[in-house]
Amino acid sequence: MSMMSCCPFCSQQVLSIDLQRHANSHFEDQDDDQQHHHVQLVDHIQSQTLPCSPQPSSTNLMSLLKNCLDTEPAATTSFLSGHVDHFHSIDFEDVGWGCGWRNIQMLTSHLLFQRPEAKPLLFGGSGFVPDIPSLQTWLEVAWNKGFDAPGANHFNRKISGKRAWIGTTECAALFRSFGLRACIVDFTTSSTGTSSSKSTPKLVGPMDRYLNRPHHDASSSNSNNNKCVGEIVKGHQLLFNWVRSYFSDSNMTTKSGVIVTQKAPLYFQHDGHSRTIVGIQLKRLPNGTDQHNLLILDPAHKTQVLESCLSKKFGWQRYIKRGVHTLKKTEYQLCYIDPGIATGAEMQKLKTLDSTHFEF
């Protein structure tokens, strides 16, 4: 059976052996430098490789996590993403700087598995999660297409081969370049006054409906979200409430158990490190309040260790669960990916990154 690839310029599916000829036909009237750039891109699509190490989990890590959460006490509800492979940083390869790329790999593993509309568009339709060098080249491709110009300038438009930290803006620019609706949310303390993002202005956007904000305009929300209006939330609990609303959407159920959602995992950034949020757990306390735990996959943890603990249902909590008391930083960023594929004018708008901003 012949392999198919996605043209990076018109998104048409073509036979892999015909990809270069088809792609070159888009640029017959361009000068030699432009044609050379596009030939390089096609060559990259054909030569990109899977991660040699680490390999994603050989078992369904999220199924193991669900089994563990099923054994939690009554009056506990957990919301989870579906399929997510874990990718850990490798000694002498990317430890200390590669966490952002590993989180992008985790997000990609979910999108390839659960977003059929995205699979033929991501990374030239390769159908697999690329290694870090390939991801670096794809980010440069996104910059060359005009996505996140301030971020591109920050890196002098060159990141391949560098041990450079990346964050939510690079994650969003990369996925947006494929037409995915990647969005950024900033959480900062009122005393900070600045975002950790290099390039995102602070705006209150459509995700405002997910937060309990004292100045929320109830008239602009639909009936499913009006229940969130009026409560003033302080401190890092604001971030937890946002994550809860993201995963549960309008399904603010009190039913105990594990609910597997269609939501993509969240890229979770703070100063010095980033992780992937794959869900959230709510435990109803005797006083009627909810205790929250983020459910995270950390690139700093070895996949084999996570698999072992989850398989044995012992010791996994200290790797996966993070309560509100663990958030010590003054600034956090999240990147989430809404469903659907952007085209036309919307695709052009995605080239300019902005963010929804909330203060603790």
- Determine the distance from the C-alpha atom of residue 234 to the mean position of all C-alpha atoms in its chain, rounded to a whole number: 25
User: What pLDDT was estimated at residue 279?
Assistant: 97
The CATH number of domain 60-359 is 3.90.70.130 = yes
User: What pLDDT was estimated at residue 331?
Assistant: 93
Residue with tokens 């690839």: 5
User: Tokens standing for 20?
Assistant: 């270069």
* Annotated active-site residue in 68, 99, 171, 228: 99
Positions in the chain short of pLDDT 70: 1-42, 44-47, 49, 52-59, 191-234, 250-254
Q: Where in the chain is the domain with CATH 3.90.70.130?
A: 60-359
* Annotated active-site residue in 26, 83, 154, 273: 273
User: What pLDDT was estimated at residue 289?
Assistant: 82
pLDDT digits (tens, 9 = 90+) for 201-227: 443 333 333 333 333 332 333 333 333
Q: What residues are paired with 76 via a beta bridge?
A: 283
> Is 99 part of the annotated catalytic residue set?
yes
Distance, in Å, from the CA atom of 37 to the CA atom of 141, rounded to the nearest integer, reads: 10
User: Tokens standing for 150?
Assistant: 């301030």
Distance, in Å, from the CA atom of 10 to the CA atom of 182, rounded to the nearest integer, reads: 20
Distance, in Å, from the CA atom of 296 to the CA atom of 83, rounded to the nearest integer, reads: 14
User: What pLDDT was estimated at residue 54?
Assistant: 54
> Is 36 part of the annotated catalytic residue set?
no
**Residue 207 is which amino acid?**
M
* Annotated active-site residue in 110, 171, 298, 309: 298
Distance, in Å, from the CA atom of 262 to the CA atom of 247, rounded to the nearest integer, reads: 8
Residues 6+ apart with CB under 8 A from 298: 275, 276, 319
Give Cα separations from 37 to 71, 97, 144 (angstroms).
54, 28, 10
